[in-house]
Amino acid sequence: MLTRKQYQLLVFIDARIQETGISPSFDEMKVALSLKSKSGIHRLIMALEERGFIRRLPHRARALEVLKRPDRMERDKYAAPSAAPAAAPAFRPSVVEGRKPAERAPLAGMIEAPLIGRVAAGVPILAESNIEAHLAFPAVMVRKGGPYYALRVKGDSMIDMGIRDGDVALISSSDTAETGDVVVALVGEEEATLKRFRRRGSGSIALEPANPAYETQIYRPEQVAIQGKLAGIFRAY
């Protein structure tokens, strides 16, 4: 079963593709669902992809394909957002440039993940949700979890854990964390940072660097949204 927001986003994407042949931008989806941050759209897309309703097409901007529509129970339960145009009666999946790409078999023993912007390891930067590329990682080298996405590390605040500026961090999507986990945390719905997560009682959350040159950041629980847990670090030489 889909949540209301997942259903509304799926209907909006499907209607926009059928109308224009191009999937909507993250900003358009954010406005259609009345969300404050593009990170919420990213989580909804990851959930729809995990459930097999959509897929992201590699090496193309704004490239989403709708694979299936909700069942009748979900259609009856939820209404589409007012910003979404009415869906056509017949379901005809469309993709960017008006053609369906050739089917590509998954790589054996590999995990594929979209590379999404950059995450700060130091001073937080504005979260970016644009997909730069799709990457493949050896499954035997990755912590179990998923679905996955990848982020470029910027800064040196996690250097004592061997995480360097320019590394690619593979992240297992999750909205919860335990004390001691290295997480991607969205601070104030606008900025993302890679830090070690610790709870301090019920009143505060600490985001700890792994570099004595940086200070631990303390926030109220409502200021921090967990975006995922570190599953692996990859580096090019």
Higher pLDDT among residues 101 and 29, named by residue: 29
As a whole number, mean pLDDT of residues 22-34 equals 85
Nearest to 14 by CA among 96, 91, 97: 91
The full set of domains in the chain, from first to last, is 4-91 (1.10.10.10), 111-234 (2.10.109.10)
pLDDT of 90: 42
Q: Which residues are catalytic?
A: 157, 195
Beta-bridge partners for 113 = 135
Higher pLDDT among residues 27 and 157, named by residue: 157
Give this prediction's pTM. Answer: 0.54
Higher pLDDT among residues 215 and 108, named by residue: 215
pLDDT band at 136 (very low <50, low <70, confident <90, very high): confident
Asked if 66 and 52 touch (Cβ cutoff 8 Å), the reply is no
Residue 92 has pLDDT above 50, yes or no: no
As a whole number, mean pLDDT of residues 179-202 equals 86
Asked if 103 and 58 touch (Cβ cutoff 8 Å), the reply is no
Which helix (H) or strand (E) covers residue 55, if one does? strand 54-56
Most confident of 101-110, 112-121, 179-188: 179-188
Nearest to 70 by CA among 86, 94, 54, 92: 54
Residue 54 has pLDDT above 70, yes or no: yes
